[in-house]
């Protein structure tokens, strides 16, 4: 299992590096044909590189620490049973903690459903995991500014809770409907 | 150096010291996880900064503004929202790209739509989502996320 994981790691790393070489080659050729663009392109790239490299190691360390210290069991324990507004807030909180990519969250969500967690909380948890992650918010703050980040965070929080409730309604409604139509079969036709 | 840079680095340092005091081995394991994640994302970091340089150097601001700028229509918004939904760019490096688009003449609405669909919707991870959570939930979540992303983007345009 560990060997397989390592193989996947190196395969994606090599694939990305190959892609990088291609992009670099394209850039070199383009700048060879348009020497007057060299200054602006390197200046822009350098500026963005510095901005990114000043925060990326810290963001990675935060994610690494949280993924080790907050276990799946903790998340399941807290999200399995809570309800109401507290449930929504906990789902948002655990989703936003800096741990792992979205595909890690799906199996976790499946376990939560088995444990009887509310559908709305699952949707909120997944959506928060996808787009309210604390490391993401930090990078968003760095590149898009406080106003942009704060406004989007507020809107997403509101809409994600609404979306959770709507999806829960729809799923409950469609799961009840077959039962209703079965009943209808037994009732006499009008 | 901006305040963001200083705060995040200090906060991370504080977290690490706390973690180290609580459980030395776990803290070091966390660092190892971080180092691996950092190495994995490094090629993508270089790709994105080169692309940003080329984007702002070669694509005229007027063109970006015409497609996804303040005066652009709903088509442009739908286009970036759709691109965000199908592309698979790790969110951490998508923010610099979004920032460069904003600098290059894109509207707040367009950038917000792009970022929101990019993070909320994953066509690449959809098969896994269906496998783990079922078709109904996966399609509902991704479909509604698209609509929600457009609403958020439009509201962002009004607020900012």
Same domain, B151 and B104: yes
Quick one: how far is CA B75 from the chain centroid?
Answer: 21
Whether B52 and B68 share a structural domain: no
CB B84 within 8 A of CB B114: yes
Q: Which residues in chain A have Cβ-Cβ distances shorter than 8 Å to B20?
A: none
Shared domain for B20 and B81, answered yes or no, is no
pLDDT of residue A178: 63
Higher pLDDT, A187 or A145: A145
The string of pLDDT tens digits covering residues B134-144 is 999 999 999 99
Is A149 an interface residue toward B (CB < 8 Å)? no
Mean per-residue pLDDT over chain A, rounded: 87
Are residue B46 and residue B104 in the same domain, yes or no?
no
Whether B130 and B148 map to the same domain: the answer is yes
In this structure, the answer to whether residues B66 and B15 fall within a common structural domain is no
**Residues A167-177 pLDDT 10s:** 999 998 988 76
Residues B133 and B112 grouped into a single domain: yes
Question: Smallest Cβ distance to B53: which of A41, A67, A151?
Answer: A41
Report pTM: 0.88
Residues B49 and B101 in one domain: no
Q: Which domain holds residue B86?
A: 61-160
H or E element in which residue B26 lies: helix B24-58
Q: How far apart are CA A105 and CA B128, in angstroms?
A: 10
Model pLDDT for residues B60-86, shown as the tens digit of each residue: 999 999 989 988 888 899 999 999 999
> Taking CB atoms and an 8 Å cutoff, what residues of chain A touch B11?
58, 62
Q: Are residues B81 and B149 in the same domain?
A: yes
Let me know whether B124 and B66 are in one domain: yes
Model confidence over A19-67: pLDDT tens digits? 999 999 999 999 999 999 999 999 999 999 999 999 999 999 999 999 8
Radius of gyration of chain B (CA): 19
The number of angstroms, rounded, from the C-alpha of A72 to the middle of its chain's C-alpha atoms is: 16
Q: Are residues B52 and B106 in the same domain?
A: no
Per-residue burial over A42-75, b if 16 or more Cβ lie within 10 Å, else e, is: eebbebbbebbebbbebbbbbbbbbbbbeeeeeb
Rounded Cα distance between A154 and B134, Å, is 29
B29 and B103 together in one domain: no
CB A113 within 8 A of CB A142: no
pLDDT for B123 equals 86
Q: What is the mean pLDDT of chain B?
A: 92
Does this complex have an ipTM over 0.95?
A: no
Q: How many domains does chain B have?
A: 2
Q: A interface mutation test: which of B140, B147, B150 has the most A CBs within 10 A?
A: B140
């Amino acid at each position: 299992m560990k060997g397989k994981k390592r193989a996947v790691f190196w395969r994606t790393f090599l694939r990305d590096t190959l892609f990088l070489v291609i992009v670099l080659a394209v850039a070199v050729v383009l700048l060879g044909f348009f020497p007057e663009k060299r200054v602006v392109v390197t200046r822009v790239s350098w500026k963005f590189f510095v901005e990114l490299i000043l925060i990326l190691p810290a963001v990675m360390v935060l994610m690494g620490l949280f993924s080790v210290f907050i276990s799946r069991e903790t998340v399941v324990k807290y999200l399995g049973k809570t309800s109401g507004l507290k449930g929504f807030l906990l789902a948002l909180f655990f989703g936003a903690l800096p741990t792992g990519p979205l595909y890690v969250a799906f199996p976790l969500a499946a376990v939560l459903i088995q444990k009887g967690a509310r559908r709305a909380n699952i949707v909120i948890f997944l959506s928060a995991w996808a787009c309210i992650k604390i490391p993401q918010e930090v990078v968003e703050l760095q590149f898009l500014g406080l106003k942009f980040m704060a406004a989007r965070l507020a809107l997403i929080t509101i809409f994600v809770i609404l979306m959770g409730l709507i999806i829960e309604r729809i799923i409950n409604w469609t799961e009840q409907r077959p039962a209703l139509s079965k009943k209808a079969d037994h009732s006499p036709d009008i | 150096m901006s305040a963001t840079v200083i705060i995040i680095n200090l906060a991370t340092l504080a977290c690490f010291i706390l973690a180290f005091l609580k459980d030395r081995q776990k803290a070091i394991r966390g660092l190892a996880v971080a180092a691996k994640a950092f190495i994995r994302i490094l090629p993508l970091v270089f790709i994105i900064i080169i692309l940003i340089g080329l984007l702002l150097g070669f694509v005229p601001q007027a063109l970006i503004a015409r497609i996804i700028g303040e005066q652009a229509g709903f088509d442009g918004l739908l286009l970036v929202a759709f691109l965000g939904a199908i592309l698979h760019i790790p969110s951490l490096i998508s923010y610099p790209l979004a920032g460069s688009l904003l600098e290059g003449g894109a509207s707040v609405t367009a950038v917000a739509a792009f970022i929101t669909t990019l993070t909320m919707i994953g066509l690449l991870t959809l098969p896994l989502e269906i496998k783990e959570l079922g078709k109904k939930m996966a399609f509902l979540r991704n479909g509604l996320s698209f609509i929600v992303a457009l609403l958020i983007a439009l509201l962002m345009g009004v607020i900012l």
